[in-house]
Amino acid sequence: MRSVRFRKSILVTSTVLCAGIALSACGESGKASESDKSQGEVTVTTAQGRLDVPRKPSKVAALDNTSFATLKAFGVKPVAVPKALLPQEGYEDWKNDASIKDVGTHREPKFEALNASGPDLIIGGYRFTDHHDKLSKIGKTIDIAPSDEAKDGYVASLRTQTEQLGKIFGEEAKAKEIVAALDKAQKSATDATRGESVFLAVASAGKIDNGASRIGRLAEPLNLKNVLAAEGEESTSVHDNSGLAPETIAKLNPDWMIMLDRDAAVGPESGEAIAAKKVVDGMEAWEKTTFRTKDQVVYLSSDFYLTEGIQAYTDSFTTVATAFNAAG
């Protein structure tokens, strides 16, 4: 499967980016400050290679949404986050804290706000991958985000990301607990699935499309047969309408459906949000399908589209295991 791609935003020029930034910050951001050195450094493996970063940095800008839940578990309060990418629940403290700068989104980043937060470390990558060079001019930036291109795939790279974050923040024991929870949930889901066919779906704007390019990661380690692969799809297909006909899915007649409800996380790009379950239940073409008649539809957490980190996959594997075990 290809790596997630997101539309590139118009990047500010280096002149604008460096405005208000001390010359040493713009030209020598790769060097650790005196405060960093007093805390010591650790070496982590990033998408750009091995890099020394401050241990237990005091001012962290967290841009990679897949890291948010782990940082919270570690008790880390960031100095800057893309607040529009925060889930609706569980992050009210970050959203409402004026001391935490809002750096916009990957489509319209607010580099000036990020610079004003004075980060010792910027956790970039994932949605912010295209901005790595610009971010590195503001402060030391790491990309340890999970990736489809990682060895053994996306889910395995969630473990690596968690271990790396544990190393940086001195939370190795907590990181080990988080990884163990994922391993347990994945094994439960693997044991509960026995070769059933499945349609991996995404609901958006009242329509249901092929979501294999995004949630195929969840099904990869399980004993499931995907009836509609992601071949030929861009990973951004969760934003698009490919024209997939409901009758096509009815003809394939999968045993199960696993559903990502994009609108539940971010709302529709236009019009009124329609709950995925309402769309599924109202699809006449699916009236006689196995997944409808046996009520074998697994709805992922409503914030999955905005989380996608190790905790999200742990919860999703648990949900899958529970549903399949209940069905016998």
Shared-domain flag, residues 258 and 134: no
- pLDDT for 48-65, tens place per residue? 999 999 999 999 999 999
State the total domains in the chain. 2
Query: What does the pLDDT read at residue 171?
Result: 98
Is 292 inside a domain boundary?
yes
% pLDDT > 70, the chain:
83
Query: What does the pLDDT read at residue 205?
Result: 82
Shared-domain flag, residues 189 and 317: yes
Q: Per mean pLDDT, which of 199-208, 299-308, 316-325 is the most reliable?
A: 316-325
Shared-domain flag, residues 137 and 187: no
Shared-domain flag, residues 77 and 214: no
Q: Is the pLDDT of residue 35 over 80?
A: no
Query: What does the pLDDT read at residue 272?
Result: 73
Shared-domain flag, residues 217 and 148: no
Is 5 inside a domain boundary?
no
Is 144 inside a domain boundary?
yes
Is 8 inside a domain boundary?
no
- Transcribe 37-88 into DSSP letters: HHH-EEEEEETTEEEEEESS-SSEEE--GGGHHHHHHTT---SEE-GGGS-S
Shared-domain flag, residues 18 and 164: yes
Q: Is the pLDDT of residue 18 over 80?
A: no
Rounded to whole angstroms, the Cα distance separating 319 from 255 reads: 17
Is 288 inside a domain boundary?
yes
pTM: 0.84
Is 218 inside a domain boundary?
yes
Rounded to whole angstroms, the Cα distance separating 144 from 128 reads: 12
Q: Which residues contact 267 (CB under 8 A, 6 or more apart)?
A: 273
- pLDDT for 115-170, tens place per residue? 999 999 999 999 999 999 999 999 999 999 999 998 889 999 999 999 999 999 99
Q: Rounded mean pLDDT of 97-111?
A: 97
CATH number at residue 240: 3.40.50.1980
Residue 30 tokens, joined: 């790769």
The H or E element that residue 202 is part of is: strand 196-204
- The mean pLDDT value of the chain amounts to 87
Query: What does the pLDDT read at residue 38?
Result: 47
Q: Which residue has the higher pLDDT, 180 or 11?
A: 180
Rounded to whole angstroms, the Cα distance separating 36 from 53 reads: 8
Give the three-state DSSP class for 237. helix
Burial per residue of 123-149, b for 16 or more beta-carbon CB atoms within 10 angstroms, e otherwise: bbbbbbbbbbebbbbbbbbbbbbbbbe
Strand partners, 80: 61, 101
Query: In which band, very low, low, confident or very high, does the pLDDT at 10 lie, cut at 50, 70 and 90?
Result: very low
Is 177 inside a domain boundary?
no
Shared-domain flag, residues 205 and 225: yes
Q: Is the pLDDT of residue 27 over 50?
A: no
Q: Rounded mean pLDDT of 267-289?
A: 86
Shared-domain flag, residues 189 and 109: no
Residue at a domain's end among 148, 171, 194: 171
Q: How far is residue 271 CA from its own chain's centroid?
A: 25
Q: Is the pLDDT of residue 5 over 80?
A: no
Q: Rounded mean pLDDT of 61-74?
A: 98
Q: Which residue range(s) make up the domain with 248?
A: 182-327
Query: In which band, very low, low, confident or very high, does the pLDDT at 242 lie, cut at 50, 70 and 90?
Result: low
- pLDDT for 201-219, tens place per residue? 999 888 899 999 989 999 9
Query: What does the pLDDT read at residue 2?
Result: 39
Shared-domain flag, residues 33 and 142: yes
Query: In which band, very low, low, confident or very high, does the pLDDT at 273 lie, cut at 50, 70 and 90?
Result: confident
CA atoms within 13 Å, Cβ hemisphere of 33: 14
Query: What does the pLDDT read at residue 58?
Result: 95
- pLDDT for 220-237, tens place per residue? 999 999 999 875 544 444
Shared-domain flag, residues 20 and 141: yes
